[in-house]
Amino acid sequence: MCLGRVISIHITERGSAPMKSVSAVRAVAGRGLEGDRYFLGVGTKSSKPGPDREVTLIEIEAIEALERDYGVKLNPGDARRNIVTRGVALNHLVGREFRVGEAVLKGIRLCEPCQHLANLTGQEKVLAGLVHRGGLRAQIMKDGIIRVGDQISVEE
């Protein structure tokens, strides 16, 4: 069952560095997204490794609501999440496996906004504006390429 689509993908080679938009990325189980800070072991929280650091997702609808309801305009990469989606309720994927392009992911926990995000964006309101809408931390269960435009689906 198709839930939504990938509308953008973002990675960065260093913690706190600006995210760069890419059209495709390889997801590697147990490592993360090739070229991303957590794959390379240099993310801000890399000293606390775990499956919930492999990939993060956020709904574009949450970013749009942040601007509408709080007056905070962020570009999709500014949210510091790897994959931006449209049309999928990410909170409902906690504890579930789902397919993104060729890769299979498992939702681990919500990715709540933190002070680090507020500091990097210069927007303190992101903390309130993204509570319970800050995205999803996921584990990569099966390697594969993820591309902009790919479907996000769950097999029932």
Q: What is the mean pLDDT of residues 83-107?
A: 97
* Higher pLDDT, residue 125 or 1: 125
Q: Considering its fold, how many domains does the chain have in total? A: 1
Question: What's residue 17's pLDDT?
Answer: 86
The pair of structure tokens assigned to 115 is: 């002070």
pTM of the predicted model as reported, rounded to 2 decimal places? 0.92
- Short-list 63, 86, 82, 77, CA closest to 133: 63
pLDDT on residue 156? 66
Query: Stretch 23-27: mean pLDDT, rounded?
Result: 98
Give the domain extent around 75.
2-153
- 46 vs 8: which has the higher pLDDT: 8
Please give the pLDDT value at position 123. 87
- Distant-in-sequence, close-in-space partners of 12: CB < 8 Å, separation ≥ 6: 18, 19, 20, 36, 37
**In the predicted structure, residue 96 carries a pLDDT above the cut 70:** yes
pLDDT at 50: 78
Measured CA to CA, the distance from residue 43 to residue 38 in angstroms comes to: 5
- 67: β partners: none
**Residue 156 to residue 78: CA distance in whole angstroms:** 33
For position 47, what pLDDT does the model report?
67
Task: Check whether 44 has a pLDDT greater than 80.
Answer: no
CATH number of residue 99's parent domain: 2.40.33.20
d(CA 147, CA 21): 11
